Each structure stands twice: as structure tokens, then as C-alpha cells.
Structure 1
């Protein structure tokens, strides 16, 4: 469960962000600050995993706060959600290590995509000691979930990453039904992702024959 701190001066936006974030699995809001000064204090006290920060705020704006987070050496990630759209602000926020930058007004799907990408990123870094260039590229440059042209129609990169993460944790080959239950998707959906991964030669399929009934296809990472 990732601990999230909100730094946002508008109470209404703050509450909307909280509700959106807590609809996404693995994320829990542990506090909210109304300006950067208060936000820094809460970063020190609560040690969040992720900070969702606005840029335009009184007393101390989001950019100054982000710079202070980096100066103080806090090992946390930051996603900016802001109305600031000028190139200079975007450039400076990204230069200071923001994981993502979302412009207001935004839809829930965009925030959900950012959080799921963040989860996939953290999971991959936790599970692996080393990455290939291709794996790193997929983490740094994820395919957009709404305009995914690199995958067959109906598949998206976020769910694909969930399937891969699940398979990497398994010691023994697993069935499509076990994958579906493990990550919370339909069995037919799991089968489509497994078939895609098999065609890409990323996983190996074993056919297991039991007693009465059809043989079961089981899959494992190569």
C-alpha cells in the first residue's frame, strides 16, 4: 500500500483528488496540506511514498516545495497536478524529478493511469535487480492506455504489466484461471494476454494432462 500525501490549497480539489486516488488499488491518502510549508512539515513527519502536489499555492508554491523535497534528500516520488501549463514551469518541475505531470482540469482515467504506471514502475524495481534496455524503455515511456497502438486491440500496457508481474512471482507454471484470480480480471481476458505473451516468446506454455476433462494450459516466464 503506497502512502500518499496531498499538497493542494483548494479544499474542493483536495477532496476530489483524495476520492480519485483511493479508488485505485494500492494507494491510500495519509494526509493533506494546504500549502508548501505545511506540506514539507508533513513530508518530514509522515514519510509518504508519493506526494501529489499543486504548483499555484500561497506561502510556498509547489515548485519551491518540490525543490526543497529534493534538497532535503527525501526518498519520495512526486506527481504534479496543476493548472500550470507554461513550458518553463513544466520543464522545471520535470527537471526536479516529478514522476508525472497532470494538467487541470483532468479526468479520473488520467490520474488512474499515472498511479497504475507508478505502481508498475515500483513493482518492477522491487522485483528485479537488473533491467534490460527494453524493460527500462517500457517503464520510462509507457504506451498510452487509450491510444495503445503497440498492442493488439483490446489489450493495454497496464494490464499486461500486471500479468507479467504476477507471472514473475510464480515458482510453478499457472493457468489462465489462476492468473485471472491473482490480478482480478476475467479468465478470458487473462487468456488473451497470455496468448499475446506466448506469441512474443516472453512466456512458455506447458500442457498438463490430468484425469477426466480437457488438458490445462499452464504458463511460466522464460
Structure 2
């Protein structure tokens, strides 16, 4: 389980984020904090894997929290907490400070909750990939860093679109079992060959996996499932 601490001064926003996180398989919320002091105390007490950190806090800035967490971690810490900044702050100096502080991503409010869900799933995929690699190749590094970038026309293979990629992902995510490319095509209204291209992209992204189903005769069937 990925243990998450939510930090936001707005109780309604924090509640919405908590509901989303707890709806995702493999995630659990350890606590919700509304101040910088409570955030630091929560990290010390609960040892979360990931902090969803707002920058607008009543007693101190979120950047100060991020810097304090990095100072507490130090080079000897085996598993320093990761931080995903979620904020309405658009000041470039704050963005730069978050980047220098080691934030895994910077998500600007307002955004649809699907954007946060996508980012959390990408974070989980990156963590899974890290556990499988002992010595990284350049390809491993490129894939890991690419996982934390949301889908955009530039990040997709040529010919694929973000809207259809999200549709295929939603279809696979909602399925109770693995699906073939033909079944995904039927549910989304795209051609089987097209569905397979998107499914292969999701597998390369670490958010889906391919399984081979072997029958008594003929070639094995390619089946795809969402990584939960």
C-alpha cells in the first residue's frame, strides 16, 4: 500500500482528495493536515510514502514544509517521503523552489479530479518499476521520468490522442477482468488495431500489463489488465 498524507488548508478540498485517494487500489490515506505544523508532525508520526502538499497554508508556506522534509531526510534516509505539490500558486519562483526541493510533480488548481487520479497512478507505476530495477539503463531512466508526465500530444506516440488514450485507460480500469484488444475496441468504439496501439502504450507506461492466454490450438491470445 502507498501511504498518503494530504495537506490542504481547505477542508472541502482535502475531503475530495481523500475520497479520490481511497478509491484507488493500492493507496491509503494515513491522515489529513490543514497546517504546516500539522503536516510536519504527521510525516514524523505516520511515515507516509507520499504527501499531497498545498502551498497555501495558514501558518507557513508549503515550500517551507518541503524544505523541512528534505532537511529531515538527509542523505542517510533509506526511504525519504515523496511530495506531490497541489496548489493554485502560479508564481514561477515557487515552481522553481518546488522543483529544487524534489517535488515529484506540480499540479495546478483548479483541475479535474481525473488529473490527480492519473498522476497518482503514474506515481504508483514509477514506484513499481523502481522495485524491479537494480541497475538502471538510460531507457529505464527515460521511462521512469516519463511516467510522472501527464498524457499530452507530445508525450504520446505518433497517431495517438490524449482523449482516446484516456478512454481506453478508463475502459481497462473499469473492467473486472483482463480484456483483449477486440473487447476494448468494442467498448470504446475504436478499431481493434487502434485499441491495441493504445493498450501497448499503457503497458509501456507501466499502468497496464499484458498476459498471454494459451488455448488448445492456434496462437496465444493477448489479454490486457489494469495494474491495480
> What does residue 70 of structure 1 align with?
70
> Of 118, 121, 130, which aligns to 1:116?
121
What RMSD over aligned residues (CA atoms) do the two structures have, in Å?
A: 3.5
In structure 2, distance between residues paired with 1:208 and 1:101 = 43
SS at match of 1:29: strand
Contact 1:54 1:80 in 2 (8 A): yes
Contact 1:207 1:215 in 2 (8 A): no
TM-score, normalised to structure 1, is 0.73
Shift of 1:94: 1.0
In structure 2, distance between residues paired with 1:135 and 1:156 = 22
> What does residue 160 of structure 2 align with?
153
TM-score, normalised to structure 2, is 0.71
Contact 2:55 2:87 in 1 (8 A): yes
Q: Taking structure 1 as reference, are residues 58 and 153 closer, same or farther at Cα in structure 2, changes over 3 Å only?
A: same
Q: Does 1:187 align with 2:192?
A: no
Would you say how many aligned residue pairs link Structure 1 and Structure 2? 192
1:19-59 superposed Cα distances (whole Å, 9 cap, x missing partner): 12222221111101111111111101100000001101111
In structure 1, distance between residues paired with 2:5 and 2:212 = 45
Q: Does 1:100 align with 2:113?
A: no
Q: How does 1:1-222 map to 2 (within 5 A)?
A: 1-73=1-73, 75-142=80-147, 144-145=150-151, 147=153, 149-150=156-157, 153=160, 156=165, 184-188=177-181, 189=184, 192=196, 196=200, 210=216, 214-217=218-221
In structure 2, distance between residues paired with 1:13 and 1:206 = 42
The gaps in structure 2 that reach 5 residues or longer are: 185-191, 205-210, 224-228
Shift of 1:9: 1.0
Contact 1:40 1:65 in 2 (8 A): yes
